[in-house]
Amino acid sequence: MEMALLGLAAALAIGLPALATAWAQGRIGPAAAASLAEKPQLSTIAIILIAIPETMVILGFVVAVLILLRAGG
């Protein structure tokens, strides 16, 4: 039972930030694309802005790994 809960916790740890990242990138992406159509020189800033929300899912992944390691240990 405890293993199942830990697995669920790991899934939530990565799943919820993944949804949040997707939502944020879904809003930033079109805005970045529209900006690039008018000012192509903004490409670097656009890429960085799109990459910033990925921090959430990446840190979620790290937390999920830590939970799974605890489950394994």
Partner 1 sequence: MIVRMVRVRIAGPRSLLDTTLTVVQDLGVLHIDRPPVPESAMTDHVIARQRRHVERSLADVETALARLEVPGDTQAHGDIPASAPEAVRRARRVRRRADALTVTRASLEEQRSLLLRYGEFFRVFEALAGYELTWPDGQVFYVVLKAGAESVLPDLKRRLDEAVGGEVELLSRELSSGEWAVLILASARAAPRVSALLTASRVEELPAPAGLRDTNLRTQPAIKGRLAEIDQVLQALDRERRMLATAEGTWLSGLRTFLRDELLRLDARTQVFTAEYLFVLDGWLPFPRVSDLQQRVDRLLGPEVAMSTLGVEDWRGGVATAPVTLHNPPLFRPFEVVTRMVPLPKYGSIDPTPFVAIFFPAFFGLMVGDVGYGLMLAALAGVFWLKSNPETTLRSVATVGLACSSSAIAFGVIFGEFFGPLGHVIGLRSFFNREQATLPFLALAVALGAVHVLLGLVLAGLSAWRGGHRREAVGRGVALGMLVLTGLSLLAAFEVVPEGLITPLVVAILVSFVVLVALEGIVALIELLSTVGHILSYARIMALGTASLMLAVVANQMVGAFGSVLIGVIFALLFHLVNFAIGVFSPVIHALRLHYVEFFGEFFTPGGAEYRPLAHWHPSP
Tell me the C-alpha distance between 17 and 40, whole Å. 30
Shortest reach from residue 57's CB to partner 1, in Å:
9
Helices (H) and strands (E) in the chain, counts: 3, 0
8 or 47: CB nearest partner 1: 47
Site for partner 1, rule CB under 8 A: 44, 47-48, 51-52, 54-55, 58-59, 61-62, 65-66, 69
Angle CA 59–53–10, to nearest 5: 30
Tell me the C-alpha distance between 60 and 54, whole Å. 10
5 or 66: CB nearest partner 1: 66
Shortest reach from residue 21's CB to partner 1, in Å:
12
Shortest reach from residue 51's CB to partner 1, in Å:
5
